[in-house]
Amino acid sequence: MIGRLNHVAIVVPDLAAAAGTYRNTLGATVSEAVDLPDHGVTTVFVELPNTKIELLHPLGSDSPIAKFLEKNAAGGMHHVCYEVEDIIAARDKLVAEGARILGDGEPKTGAHGKPVLFLHPKDFCGTLVELEEV
């Protein structure tokens, strides 16, 4: 069901500094910052030959990742994102097998303008998983 790894997301306390580290120190191509109000985050994507790194920073005080930074002041890995061909079929199969979908269970538009869902980390070896339809 899952396809390729789309990205690994890292929460950072300073988005500009983190983007600069990837751009200047590691020599990566780094996107401009984009606010995603529906998700409560600002994102920057680091382009790699085989995948992407998504740098996440809270957008507003009620951001879902603000608590992550409270517990992990230096930041850290937040989730992995896998591609799926049909997000509704993937969701229905996962739910039928007992997996929990976070939120209301309906896809939202993600950072790439495509439907995404998040899966409960307790169902996936302690890792928050994002599915993105491609």
- Which tens digit of pLDDT belongs to each residue from 75-116? 999 999 999 999 999 999 999 999 999 999 999 999 999 999
What residue spans define the domains of the chain?
Answer: 5-133
Q: Are 128 and 121 in contact (CB under 8 A)?
A: yes
The model scores a pTM over 0.85:
yes
71-84 pLDDT tens trace: 999 999 999 999 99
Q: How confident is the model at residue 61 (pLDDT cuts 50, 70, 90)?
A: confident
% pLDDT > 70, the chain: 100
Averaged pLDDT for residues 18-22: 98
Helix or strand or coil: residue 4? coil
Query: Residue 130 forms beta bridges with which residues?
Result: 81, 118
Residue 126 burial class via C-beta count within 10 angstroms: exposed 0-12, middle 13-18, buried 19 and up: exposed
Sign of CA dihedral 105, 110, 116, 118: negative
Q: How many CB atoms lie within 10 A of CB 123?
A: 15
CATH code: domain 5-133 is 3.10.180.10
Averaged pLDDT for residues 48-64: 95
pLDDT value at residue 97: 97
Q: Which residues are catalytic?
A: 130
